Amino acid sequence: MKKYILKYKGWLATTVLFRCIGALMQVFIAILIQNILDTAINKDFEGFKKAIIFSSIFFIVMTFNNYINQTSQFIYMKKTLTKFKEDVFRGVLRKDYKSFNDENTAEYISNLTNDINLVQGQYITPYLEMIGDVVIFVGTTAVLLWINPWITLVMFATSILLFIIPVIFGTPISKRQGLVSDELSKFTTKIKDIFSGYEVIKSYNIEDSMTEEFLTCNNQVEHLKLRSNHIQGISASVSMLLGIMTQVSAIALGGYFLMTGKLTVGSLFAVVQLGNGLFGPIMFIVTKVTMIKGMKEVNSKLLKIINEGNIESDKKSLKEFNENIKLENISFTYNDEIQALDNVSISFSKNKKYAIVGRSGSGKSTILRLLLGYYDNFEGSISFDGQDTKEICKDSINKQISIIHQNVYMFDESIKKNILLGKEFSKDELKKALQVSGVEEFLNILPDGVDSQIGENGSNLSGGQKQRVAIARSLIQNTPILLLDEGTSALDTKTAYEIEDTLLRLDDLTVLTVTHKLSQSLLSRYDEIIVMDKGKVVEMGSFSELVNTKGEFYNLYSIESEDNLNEEVAN
């Protein structure tokens, strides 16, 4: 965390410098008061006038100093928190598929909002304020020693008690603060989940039960916040009590010295004023140290995200794809429970077209996920042109592959931005992608054509239109390998046929399609059909070979053909 605090040294130094000057000026106020009072009591008009003029100028300078200090602190804070947030954000994006999905996305939102706010309010700000407190403390001690060493000694003796507070309260506050942060994540997750399920809530009239769930979560957060605030309150109250004891003992001793003529009235006022300068900073330092200690769990949670991101700089990169992809004896289990693939060996040659078919849950999509490097914990090996994927960095593999999913996510932006995804492509490339994907066909009914906003997750588009945008998004990447995971399932039969037909005609494209649509007209055009069952490859071959074998594919195909026939009869 220190790395972030020291990142913007220039602004930090400016803030610290002006804070220190401000702190010293604050201490100096006691001397001004002493001077004004003593000149007044001694009826020294000339001295009194000078003291008033000097004090007035002093306060103007102090205000100006305070303004510079505040401004530089805001700038320092803005820069530091922006960098910190950026690193947490990058850390989240660097996570691999598995560890990203281990957490709910709302947790990350909470990390970037609630937790960062805590870092600002309970870690960095107290650190900065403490610097001023320390200077006030040192300056006050020096002036107090100059006025009267005995009073200083008594004040010190009583205030030492204050330092035991972080020792007693630091750990319980940290634990409670950690619980609040965890509960805030759950709370954000719950709200996100409820709002995402808005349609279900409305259609099933479950507003009341959802409100109930919201209230339970909300109450739990507030309860934990209260527990955390409660212990912080106890800590602050004990600090205050000990602080007041310090001050009262100083005033009592000062009064005694006044009566015995060893102290002037002005000096006694200065001692009272300085008592604040001693007791205040000690109390603030104690509270802030306790606060900073309390942030340990939240900080380490955020730093873990920043540091654990997968950096694969030592791995080779796959520059191009020229020959084949080989899966050899692949077995894979999700969460050590469900065996999704069982000793699968397949070879996909460059520019050939493959269809992967099989019953639901037979492991088809899992093959695509492993090719995309979502998971590493499989047995066997996957290689691109003979290079083992475990030795190649995932980014370089992903540059060779595009995927079109069944349910693809759309950003709340225009169609164009959803296709380009922030990368540079020529007008012709965009035009071609719009044509092949069929997006072009519905652009004229949209208000702003390709620049039309499509709403949250494409809510302004139909399922089929969304899928066409997804297809355009993949095609424009112009990668040598294209994966389709039910990539045309939301389209009407004619459009789906046209798009798949176009893709099958592209000679320099390797296509792997996971499909449930067993249409002879399309499947017969694939070079090879891979039939999966319970995680195993049970058959491989061309359409006619598989139909003639009369095995698993034939069974699936017959059921599908019968369904189609029944549908036609019903219509």
Binding site for ligand ATP (CB under 6 A): 334-335, 338, 340, 358, 360-366
What would the two tokens of residue 91 be? 């850390």
Burial class of residue 334, CB neighbours in 10 A (0-12, 13-18, 19+): middle
Q: How far is the CB of 526 from ligand ATP (least distance, A)?
A: 17
**Closer residue to ligand ATP, CB minimum distance, 133 or 485:** 485
**Closer residue to ligand ATP, CB minimum distance, 28 or 100:** 100
Alpha carbon 268 to its chain centroid, in Å, reads 54
**Closer residue to ligand ATP, CB minimum distance, 65 or 365:** 365
Nearest to 512 by CA among 366, 394, 390, 302: 366
Residue 150 and residue 253 in contact, taking contact as beta carbons nearer than 8 Å: yes
Q: How far is the CB of 537 from ligand ATP (least distance, A)?
A: 12
Q: How far is the CB of 512 from ligand ATP (least distance, A)?
A: 12
**Closer residue to ligand ATP, CB minimum distance, 361 or 541:** 361
Residue 168 and residue 55 in contact, taking contact as beta carbons nearer than 8 Å: no
Q: How far is the CB of 105 from ligand ATP (least distance, A)?
A: 15
Q: How far is the CB of 534 from ligand ATP (least distance, A)?
A: 9
Burial class of residue 49, CB neighbours in 10 A (0-12, 13-18, 19+): exposed
Pairwise CA distance, residues 439 & 446, whole Å: 11
Pairwise CA distance, residues 154 & 412, whole Å: 65
**Closer residue to ligand ATP, CB minimum distance, 275 or 363:** 363
Pairwise CA distance, residues 163 & 356, whole Å: 69
* CA angle (467 as vertex; 466, 471 as ends), nearest 5: 120
Q: How far is the CB of 369 from ligand ATP (least distance, A)?
A: 7
* CA angle (246 as vertex; 245, 248 as ends), nearest 5: 65
**Closer residue to ligand ATP, CB minimum distance, 101 or 117:** 101
**Closer residue to ligand ATP, CB minimum distance, 232 or 366:** 366
Handedness of CA 49, 55, 61, 64 (dihedral sign): negative
Task: Give 348-399 as a DSSP string.
Answer: EETT-EEEEEESTTSSHHHHHHHHTTS----EEEEEETTEEGGGB-HHHHHT
Q: How far is the CB of 341 from ligand ATP (least distance, A)?
A: 8
Tell me the CA distances in angstroms from 421 to 97, 412, 469, one per residue in order. 19, 12, 12
**Buried/exposed 402-425: b ≥16 CB within 10 Å, e otherwise:** bbbbbebebeebbbbebbbeeeeb
Residue 382 and residue 325 in contact, taking contact as beta carbons nearer than 8 Å: yes
3-state secondary structure of 345: strand
**Closer residue to ligand ATP, CB minimum distance, 333 or 351:** 333
Q: How far is the CB of 519 from ligand ATP (least distance, A)?
A: 16
What would the two tokens of residue 320 be? 């191009």
**Closer residue to ligand ATP, CB minimum distance, 133 or 486:** 486
Q: How far is the CB of 8 from ligand ATP (least distance, A)?
A: 42
Residue 305 and residue 84 in contact, taking contact as beta carbons nearer than 8 Å: no
Q: How far is the CB of 116 from ligand ATP (least distance, A)?
A: 29
**Closer residue to ligand ATP, CB minimum distance, 176 or 394:** 394
Handedness of CA 327, 328, 334, 338 (dihedral sign): positive
Q: How far is the CB of 358 from ligand ATP (least distance, A)?
A: 6
**Closer residue to ligand ATP, CB minimum distance, 159 or 366:** 366
**Closer residue to ligand ATP, CB minimum distance, 203 or 360:** 360
Q: How far is the CB of 363 from ligand ATP (least distance, A)?
A: 4
* CA angle (149 as vertex; 145, 154 as ends), nearest 5: 110
Pairwise CA distance, residues 460 & 315, whole Å: 42
Q: How far is the CB of 22 from ligand ATP (least distance, A)?
A: 56
Pairwise CA distance, residues 293 & 297, whole Å: 9
Pairwise CA distance, residues 398 & 314, whole Å: 17
**Closer residue to ligand ATP, CB minimum distance, 364 or 466:** 364
Q: How far is the CB of 475 from ligand ATP (least distance, A)?
A: 23
Pairwise CA distance, residues 531 & 551, whole Å: 10
**Closer residue to ligand ATP, CB minimum distance, 175 or 359:** 359
Pairwise CA distance, residues 42 & 63, whole Å: 30
